[in-house]
């Protein structure tokens, strides 16, 4: 089980959290202007990379607030958790925080 540091409540077990999938995917400003390909891309295409992935988590059995996290999908180790709206922290080529 993962230990996840909620930016508001601190370190808690994974069972208190809900993973909301990849972060920083913005809903298109004008969906009706998109063609089918771009819309499918927004809905379904995810990076699913083996390495550092930015994802959304919700502390559902705690403060019930959403936040973002950087996690290495190879080792499952969290690099950092950060509040919604903040930019994605930079990571170097070794997968470490800059």
Partner 1 sequence: MIRMEDAIVQKFSLPALLKESLGAHLGWGRQWGSADLKSSYDAVIVGGGGHGLATAYYMAKEHGIRKIAVIERGWLGGGNSGRNTTIVRSNYLYDESAAIFEHSLKLWEGLSQELNYNVMFSQRGVLMLAHNEHDRQSFKRHVYANRLNGIDNEWLTPEEAKQFCPQLDLSPGKRYPVVGAALQRRAGTARHDAVNWGFARAASALGVDIIQNCEVLGLERDAFGAVCGLNTTRGKVATTKVGVSVAGHTPQLMSLFGVKVPLESQPLQALVSEPLKPAFPTVVMSNAVHAYISQSDKGELVIGAGTDQYVSYSQQGGLHIPIHTLDAICELFPIFTRVKMMRSWGGITDNTVDRSPIQGVTPIPGLYINCGWGTGGFKATPGSGHLFAHCVAKGEPHPISRPFSLDRFRTGRLIDEAAAAAVAH
Give me the residue label for tokens 């709206």. 85
Taking CB under 8 A as the rule, does residue 32 contact partner 1?
A: no
* Binds partner 1 (CB under 8 A): choice among 8, 9, 46, 64: 46
Q: Work out how close the CB of 83 gets to partner 1 at its nearest, in angstroms, rounded to a whole number.
A: 19
Torsion of CA 63, 90, 76, 57, to 10 degrees: 20
* Binds partner 1 (CB under 8 A): choice among 59, 67, 70, 71: 71
Number of Cβ atoms within 10 Å of the Cβ of 13 = 11
Taking CB under 8 A as the rule, does residue 3 contact partner 1?
A: no
Question: Which three-class secondary structure state does DSSP give residue 38?
Answer: helix
What whole-number distance in Å separates Cα of residue 85 and Cα of residue 66? Answer: 10
Taking CB under 8 A as the rule, does residue 37 contact partner 1?
A: yes
Residues of this chain that interact with partner 1 (CB under 8 A) are 1-2, 14-15, 18-19, 21-22, 36-37, 40-41, 43-50, 53, 55, 71, 73-76
């Amino acid at each position: 089980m993962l230990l996840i540091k909620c930016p508001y409540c601190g370190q808690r077990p994974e069972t208190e959290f809900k993973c909301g999938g990849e972060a920083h995917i913005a809903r298109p400003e004008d969906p009706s202007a998109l063609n089918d390909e771009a819309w499918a891309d927004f809905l379904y295409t995810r990076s699913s990379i083996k390495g550092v992935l930015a994802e959304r988590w919700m502390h559902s059995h705690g403060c019930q607030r959403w936040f973002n996290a950087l996690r290495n999908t190879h080792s499952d180790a969290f690099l950092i958790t950060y509040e919604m709206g903040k930019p994605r922290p930079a990571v170097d080529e070794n997968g470490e925080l800059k």
